[in-house]
Amino acid sequence: MKNKTGRYSGYIRPFSYLFDLGILNLFSFLLFPIEFFSSYFIIFISLSWIIIALNVGFYEVYRFTKVVSIFNKILKQFTLFTILCYAFSGFYDKNLDSFVTLKYTMSAIFLISANKLFIYYFLRKYRSLYGGNFRNVVIVGNDKNVQQLEEFFTENPDYGYQLIKTFNLEPDRKAAIQECFSFVKADLVDEIYCSMCDLTDVQINSFIDFADNNLKKLKFLPDNKEFFTRNLKLDYYGYIPIVSLRSIPLDDTINQVIKRVFDVVFSIIVIVGVLSWLIPILGFFIKLESKGPVFFKQKRNGLNYHEFNCYKFRSMTLNEIADIEQVSKNDPRITKTGRFMRKTSIDELPQFVNVLLGDMSVVGPRPHMVSHTEMYARKIDKFMVRHFVKPGITGLAQTNGFRGEVENDKDIIYRVKYDIFYMENWSLTLDLKIIFMTLYNAFKGEEKAY
């Protein structure tokens, strides 16, 4: 499974956040009197800027976003930020010249806006002239219903979409759909666009299942049907409405930053505060009981199906089937020390190194062995959806009784359901709740902790 193609949100937004906050704080130092400039003001303007940006979608600029929409975001951001700056200056220093505050907000917003527009137009030129930052797409539908979208993709290369093929559903719709599925599997296709009015409900569901199980983005050209009960996201490509199937909060850069900062801070606390003294102690008992290394590493599948080395304290004697066969109850391979570690989940603590390296998150879908991932992907519907986010040391499924050995199909089906719910409803509060429940279950003891 390949990397995601280049995305504005993935590479440009972090720079934009840092650049904008840098400009705001630099201009506050240069334009306000030295007696007014303080750490309180720095914290206030930084938090105000971010909170306003989150509410007006200031950084929600995509390849299909219209310029007028960007100016609308800039106007909202500027107006609200200026009001808050005046409120702070009036409260903090009533003698401050009001023109200084206006000069500050106008100067900062002008430079920030210029940078924002420069990046937007630079990316469009880069795509148009050099063919970079492209997403390969296919369209499914009858000619008359998809012609406008075809023209949009071919006539607007600066948006960064490369139309690979259009699958006409006439005269044999079933054969065309199967041809599309085979083509997408074999070719480097990033997104599938379907005309809803050319498909039945069953066929739409088959596209949803196919996209979920093959980690493809699926979008629709909507019609007037009212059978969809999902909370779908509507965007416009030019003046063409496009419906996105699934909205994942962690696709938003600010949420990614929040989660990553939390992961790094939490993992450093655990590594320094716990692992620094626990490793020598457990290492002594592990080596005393059986030959072999203190740590056990195993290939697992993570974000976008990429493989990584997942670390654990070794809880079993050395064996040749560790990467193939799951641990079962009363497994003879488990050592006495290993049984204690697995019962208390201490064996998972080295995975905080994986979190620090960026392969995992503290909370997320649990990663499976590569051989099991391939098996479940063929067997369990929507299993691959869980690879849209980073895997976690603990997850929602694990705190609801679906941890450890997969004894039957029900176990893995419910894991997938909980994982998809977590992906679509992520919040930092939910992460904290899952961590608390994990610690509670570890102290209480779990039936499947073996």
**Tokens standing for residue 125:** 């030129």
Q: What is the pLDDT of residue 443?
A: 81
Angle at 399 between CA 393 and CA 400, to 5 degrees: 140
Express the helix, strand and coil content of the chain in percent, nearest 5 each: 60, 10, 30
Q: What is the pLDDT of residue 225?
A: 47
Q: What is the pLDDT of residue 201?
A: 82
**Tokens standing for residue 355:** 């979190």
Q: What is the pLDDT of residue 406?
A: 67
Give 40-60 pLDDT, tens digit per residue.
888 888 898 988 888 888 887
Q: What is the pLDDT of residue 223?
A: 67
Q: What is the pLDDT of residue 309?
A: 92
Q: What is the pLDDT of residue 305?
A: 84
Instruction: Tell me which DSSP letter residue 196 carries.
Output: G
Taking the C-alpha atoms of residue 294 and residue 59, their distance in angstroms, rounded to an integer, is 46
Q: What is the pLDDT of residue 142?
A: 85
CATH class of the domain defined by 135-247:
alpha beta
Q: What is the pLDDT of residue 248?
A: 81
Closest to 398 measured CA to CA, from 378, 412, 385? 412
Give 174-207 pLDDT, tens digit per residue.
899 999 999 998 878 889 999 888 888 888 889 9
Q: What is the pLDDT of residue 232?
A: 61
- Say which amino acid occupies 153: F
Mean pLDDT split into 10-residue runs, the chain, 450 residues: 43 78 87 76 87 84 75 87 83 71 88 87 72 81 82 80 88 89 88 88 88 87 54 65 75 84 93 93 90 89 88 85 68 84 88 94 90 80 85 90 72 86 88 90 67
How far from chain centre, in Å, is Cα 185? 23
Taking the C-alpha atoms of residue 297 and residue 295, their distance in angstroms, rounded to an integer, is 7
| Residue range(s) in the chain whose domain bears CATH number 3.40.50.150 | 135-247
Q: What is the pLDDT of residue 208?
A: 87
Q: What is the pLDDT of residue 93?
A: 63
Q: What is the pLDDT of residue 450?
A: 45
Give 343-384 pLDDT, tens digit per residue.
888 889 999 999 999 999 999 999 888 878 878 877 787 788
